Structure 1
């Protein structure tokens, strides 16, 4: 019995030309002031939070011990902040950095309100600035501000980041 080998086209542009969902954007596709409401949202489970804490060795009892957390000012476990940030960053990739050459910086990360097990998080990102690179004509910089809201519309995290993305048509302004 012989095996048949099919050609798999791994080029992103070719796959998108076939009708596949676009993943990320080229520099020319970003517009200052645009707001992308990322989909899908994610309900944070106790297992998500505990696994993230344990694999990152953050064993603070506020995140993994119900008895300890029950005696805290929140009265229950609080989801660890780096998980909330990582989740929001991941939710934004298909709209913002799916074609990124590099993520250059993250700044202004804040967690103004806690996240609890069972909260559903929604993320949205506003494009603050789009500019071509001064040193390389085939790419540019996109500065964005991501906000994370829970199911009640309460802001639970926000951050800004700078992403280096390719131009669709290098050599154009």
Structure 2
């Protein structure tokens, strides 16, 4: 099993996820299109050159969030999660552009036993994504209901 059981997590653990990902124009346009997001910031290069401070399209923040959390799954929750309970404090302090490469780290910031299920507990993950120059581009807290190691 790639993911860790509830019992294997400890507050303060930090995972430096080995998967990195260069974001392409196709990633951004495809995600924006399939989610029916018509924002010119993601789709219209000419508009962005003329009317935005960045002068180019920026990567859809929904894609950034999904990629950041997705990269973390293999090392933390793959096969050991009962449910994703939600995302809190989602922030995007700097933009991503086509061609940027992100890396992700995850810190365990809280844990508690489930009040309703004896075979699981709730882990709070703090995910952080950085682009190639070390700039923090996204972070969020995510609560996961994690299964305990089978007896």
- Say whether the fold is shared (TM-score over 0.5): yes
TM-superposed deviation, 1:75:
0.8
State the alpha-carbon separation in 2 of the partners of residues 167 and 161 from structure 1.
18
Deviates more, 1:126-135 or 1:80-89: 126-135
1:1-173 paired onto structure 2 within 5 Å:
22-71=1-50, 72-98=52-78, 99-169=80-150
Task: Name the larger-Rg structure.
Answer: 1
Greater strand proportion = 2
Using CA pairs under 8 Å that are at least 6 residues apart, name the structure with larger relative contact order, 1 or 2. Answer: 2
TM-superposed deviation, 1:85:
0.2
TM-superposed deviation, 1:96:
2.3
Consecutive unaligned residues of structure 1, counting only runs of 5 or more, are 1-21
State the alpha-carbon separation in 2 of the partners of residues 52 and 135 from structure 1.
37
State the alpha-carbon separation in 1 of the partners of residues 93 and 140 from structure 2.
11
Task: Show CA shifts across 1:2-25 (max 9, x none).
Answer: xxxxxxxxxxxxxxxxxxxx3211
For the aligned residue pairs, the C-alpha RMSD in angstroms reads 1.1
State the alpha-carbon separation in 1 of the partners of residues 73 and 150 from structure 2.
21
Number of residue pairs the alignment of both structures matches: 149
Consecutive unaligned residues of structure 2, counting only runs of 5 or more, are none
TM-score by length of 1: 0.83
TM-score by length of 2: 0.95
State the alpha-carbon separation in 1 of the partners of residues 85 and 44 from structure 2.
36
Q: Secondary structure of the equivalent of 1:75?
A: coil
TM-superposed deviation, 1:105:
1.6
